[in-house]
């Protein structure tokens, strides 16, 4: 079993036709991919939905933080 501790990995995603980079640890990239597969949507579509939810927050977190929070809260 490999260690879950790994520096963030930067990947490009497209949100509403705009490319942006997100840095997440591989564990979170795996969780994000699995969540998108479970919903039968592309990762970009799931990230766009999370982004839409986060910008409506009273004090929006950064996108990477919002993704981590969404993934963790989804499991509760």
In tens, the pLDDT along 6-27 reads 899 999 999 989 999 999 999 9
Pick the CATH number of 9-74 from 1.10.3720.10, 1.10.3990.20, 3.40.50.300, 3.90.950.20: 1.10.3990.20
DSSP state of 16: T
* Least confidently predicted of 2-6, 29-33, 45-49: 2-6
Rounded to 5°, angle at Cα 71 from 68 and 22: 40
Listed by start position, the domains of the chain span 9-74
Residue 65's nearest CA partner among 52, 76, 54 is 54
């Amino acid at each position: 079993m490999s260690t879950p501790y790994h520096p963030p990995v930067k990947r490009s995603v497209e949100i509403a036709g705009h490319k942006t980079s997100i840095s997440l640890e591989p564990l979170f990239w795996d969780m994000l991919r699995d969540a998108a597969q479970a919903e039968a949507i592309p990762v970009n579509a799931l990230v766009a939905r999370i982004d839409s939810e986060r910008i409506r927050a009273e004090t929006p977190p950064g996108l990477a933080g919002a993704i981590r929070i969404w993934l963790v809260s989804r499991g509760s």
